[in-house]
């Protein structure tokens, strides 16, 4: 699938960086591909943190914006959040 701006919400931040939530049915392997967030280039800054939630396979990852040329955005591969319950 493709980036959907309706899935991206700014949770907070200031001039030092922003925290974003992105919810999509896209897998993290798709979301972390360079260029996926190009449509949001005017919103995302380098080092912003994006919490990526996959609604298809329930997973959550933390990604940071590695680069933004103003037209091309690249994010990190993502750090998976362990969603286990051992009790």
Domain ranges of the chain: 5-78
Residues facing 16 on adjacent strands: none
CA separation for the pair 16, 53 (Å, rounded): 24
Per DSSP, the residues of 23-69 read: EESS-HHHHTSTTTTGGGTTT--TT-EEEEEETTTTEEEEEEEEEE-
pLDDT given at position 60: 96
Reported as a pLDDT band with limits 50, 70 and 90, residue 4 is: very high
Over 90: is that where the pLDDT of 52 sits? Answer: yes
Distances (CA, A) of 33 to 73, 75, 84: 9, 7, 26
pLDDT given at position 22: 98
Over 80: is that where the pLDDT of 1 sits? Answer: no
pTM: 0.92
Over 90: is that where the pLDDT of 24 sits? Answer: yes
């Amino acid at each position: 699938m493709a980036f959907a701006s309706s899935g991206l919400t700014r949770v907070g931040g200031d001039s030092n960086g922003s925290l974003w939530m992105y919810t999509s049915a896209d897998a993290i392997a798709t979301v972390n591909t360079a260029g996926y967030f190009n449509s949001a280039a005017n919103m995302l800054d380098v080092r912003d943190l994006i919490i990526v939630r996959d609604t298809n396979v329930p997973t959550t990852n933390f990604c940071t914006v590695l680069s933004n040329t103003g037209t091309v955005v690249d994010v990190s591969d993502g750090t998976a959040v362990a969603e286990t319950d051992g009790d």
